[in-house]
Amino acid sequence: MADSLARIELEYLLKTSPAILFNRLATPSGLSEWFADNVNVKGKVFTFIWEGSEQQAEQTLKKENKMVRFQWLDEGMEDMWFEFNIDVDELTGDVALLITDHVEADDKEDSIELWDQQVDVLKHGLGSA
C-alpha cells in the first residue's frame, strides 16, 4: 500500500498569532472547530469524528506554537500521517500554516480540495477569512 501514497504540501497565510493558531491545531476543542465534527483525546490518541465515522491518530510530535504531527492508527493507514507547521516570516511577521499530508495517490486532488475547504473554515473561525 505504501507504494501508492502521494505527499501533499500546502501553504496558507493566516491573519492570526502562532499561539492562537497552535491551539486550533493541537487541542481537541481547537480541531473540532474546523478539522472534524468532534474530537476526543485519550493520552496522545486523538479520535476524529466526521458525520458518524471515526478515525484515530496518535499525536507523535508536538512543538509549542511551531508544529504538530499525527500518525493515523487505522488498519491500512500505518504509513499515512499529516503534519501542521506554523511558519512566521521574520521580516513581515506573516503567519503561514504549512500542511504536509500523505494520501492515496488516487485521492490527491480530492484531498487538496478538502484541505482547502477545511482551512477556509479555520480562517473564518479565526476571523482571517
Question: From residue 120, how far is each of 73, 87, 114 by CA, in Å?
Answer: 26, 18, 10
Average pLDDT score over residue span 116-123: 96
Q: What is the pLDDT of residue 129?
A: 63
Contact 88, 95 (CB under 8 A): yes
- Neighbouring CB atoms inside 10 A of 23's CB total 16
Model confidence at 3, pLDDT cuts 50, 70, 90, reads low
Using a cut of 0.75, tell me whether the model's pTM lies above it: yes
Grid cell locating 42: 485519550
pLDDT of residue 96: 97
Judged by DSSP in three states, 30 sits in: helix
Domains of the chain, with CATH numbers?
Answer: 2-126 (3.30.530.20)
Select from 62, 67, 60, 59 the least CA-distant residue to 18: 67
Give residue-wise pLDDT tens across range 79-103: 899 999 999 999 999 999 999 999 9
The pLDDT tens digits for 20-63 are 999 999 999 999 999 999 999 999 999 999 998 999 999 999 99
* Grid cell 478538502 in the structure block, residue: 114
Q: What is the pLDDT of residue 38?
A: 95
Mean pLDDT, the chain, integer? 93
Task: Give the pLDDT band of residue 1 (cuts 50, 70, 90).
Answer: very low
Decide if 14 contacts 101 (C-beta within 8 A).
no
Q: Are 11 and 97 in contact (CB under 8 A)?
A: yes
